[in-house]
Amino acid sequence: MILTKLTLKNYRRFGDRSFRFSAGINIVLGNNEAGKSTITQAIMDVLFADPSSRARALKNRITAWQGDTDAYLALEFEQSGEEWILEKDFGKGEARLVNTTRKETFEGSDAVSAKLADLLPFSSDTMYTATAAIRQSDIASIRTDKDFTAALQNAVSSTGEGGVVTILATLEDTLKDLRKGTDRLAKNPGPIKAAQDEVEHLEQELAQKRSQWEKVSAARDEGDKSGSRLHEINQSIEELELLLANVKKREEAESRLADLTKRLHEIQNILSQSSDLSMKQEQLKGRLDQYSQFGSQGVEETGRRITALSEQRQSIRHELEMMPVPQAPPPQVQQSFLRTYQHMLVALAVFVLGGIMAVVLESAVVAGIGSLIAVVLFIVLRVQGETGEAQRQALEQLVQQRAYKQKALDDAGTELSELLKKIQSGIGRGFLR
């Protein structure tokens, strides 16, 4: 929130007076009883006081020195690129909040208070004076440039020690863990190497599935020549095509792994940019020398946010470490599809051979035995196929969970970088009260 204009009518020493505020720091200077504290109190009253209240403390506080109790306060401010006007008429007990950008109006103490709760970063005048207001007594406590520099440095780091240097060291360690195993053999490779190995494995498996598809296609062409057995063979081919659908799902998993690799590269690029923070830290020290006598608005709030983001990143990293790393399917799952395919071929061969022998020997018993064996093999095929699919789905769910956690870690890192840049850019826009 950026305050732009304050209007006071019949408020304490001011009969009708307006004050405009500009970008940056605004300093209110004046002799004793000139009204400096009155301006600060007026800002708190227009933000938090209820104009319909009949409390004696409020009436005594807002009564004009001439005895007039019809005090009127108006505050113009900007919030998220939109302009607002807040008016409170203590004589009529009315409150109104107008968004002049979107032409929206909120009237009544309850409606105005509810909307201000959404707009303000603090909910009471106590929090306002503790976080957003800087009084003369607060500045007096900062005696030297070193005191002010130390206070700001503590706000940058959650521990108060090391500052940007500590953050850079942490980022460098994280980058090494991500790259582990990419340039040389490692006993425990990092996420990037693990993803590369998984992609290579999936490419090999895809080649095998394509080879199997070619064999199935050849078998289907041969089945077209079998005459009276064409219908039965086509049904068997349809079952094989269902198995090939699993191959397509594996290709989709490969695509998702490629996306994960791309995101890991993006993380690497972000971490590489963190080396610029050291130079920006020196620039920040120079700017601190310029503004050290005035203090900084919002430093404590930014420091708390940085601390929260650091704790959030540590928590997410811990969760990622506790989660199992997606590995290649176990040998029994990899071989499940091959065994299923072999059983299908055997079932098909037994079925066809039984039919041929039944025709040659003119024996219905032989045909029945062949059909029974084919049915048994088909049942085995279905059971193994369902088991392999369940394990594949579990692996895919684990990959999705890790991707979600990694995105949350990326978002926290991005916000942390933005806050650090905000600190380095100097004292923000604000004013001294």
Written as one string, the DSSP assignment of 38-69 is HHHHHHHHHHH--TT---HHHHHHH--TTS--
Report the range out of 116-130, 261-275, 306-320 with the highest average pLDDT.
Answer: 306-320
> Quick check: 43 and 77 in contact, CB under 8 A?
no
Give which of 407, 427, 99 is closest to 259, Cα–Cα.
Answer: 407
Stretch 162-169: mean pLDDT: 58
Tell me what percent of the residues of the chain surpass a pLDDT of 90: 15
Residues with Cβ within 8 Å of residue 143, at least 6 apart in sequence: none
pLDDT in tens, 28-57: 888 888 888 889 889 989 999 999 988 888
Stretch 240-265: mean pLDDT: 85
Q: What angle do CA 249, 332, 207 make, to 5 degrees?
A: 45
Distance CA 92, CA 113 (A): 17
Is the pLDDT score of 157 beyond 50? Answer: no
Residue bearing the bigger pLDDT, 41 or 352: 41
Question: Which residue type, as a one-letter code, is found at position 168?
Answer: L
Residue given tokens 């789905």 in the structure block: 393
Give which of 274, 301, 287, 277 is closest to 149, Cα–Cα.
Answer: 287
Stretch 315-343: mean pLDDT: 66
Distance CA 23, CA 337 (A): 69
Question: Which residue type, as a one-letter code, is found at position 6?
Answer: L
Give the per-residue pLDDT at 101. 94
DSSP 326: P
Report the DSSP beta bridge partners of residue 87: 74, 96
Taking the domain 2-133, which CATH number applies? 3.40.50.300
Q: How confident is the model at residue 291 (pLDDT cuts 50, 70, 90)?
A: very low
Q: Give domain limits for the chain.
A: 2-133, 152-424
pLDDT in tens, 75-92: 999 988 899 999 999 989
